[in-house]
Amino acid sequence: MIGGWWTRPSNWATNTTVAAIGILAVTYGVWQFSANNERRVVQPIRPIPSMLWAKEYADKQEK
């Protein structure tokens, strides 16, 4: 046997899609958790990208 057990799996496209969906789901969950829990003790001098989605700054904009 050359190349191991699964040299060319026939369902590679399905496996790739399932893996990509899993990665996106985990990334979305971590992103949401981070945006909801981000707190800055020292406020930035100039705008930073995370101010666009962080809950701390979204609450200030609503007021």
Residue 13 phi, psi (nearest 5): -65, -40
Give which of 15, 55, 60 is closest to 31, Cα–Cα. 55
30 or 41: which carries more pLDDT confidence? Answer: 30
Mean pLDDT value of segment 29-50:
89
Count of residues making up the chain: 63
Tokens representing 58 are 């979204």
- From 23-32, 37-46, 50-59, the region with the lowest mean pLDDT: 50-59
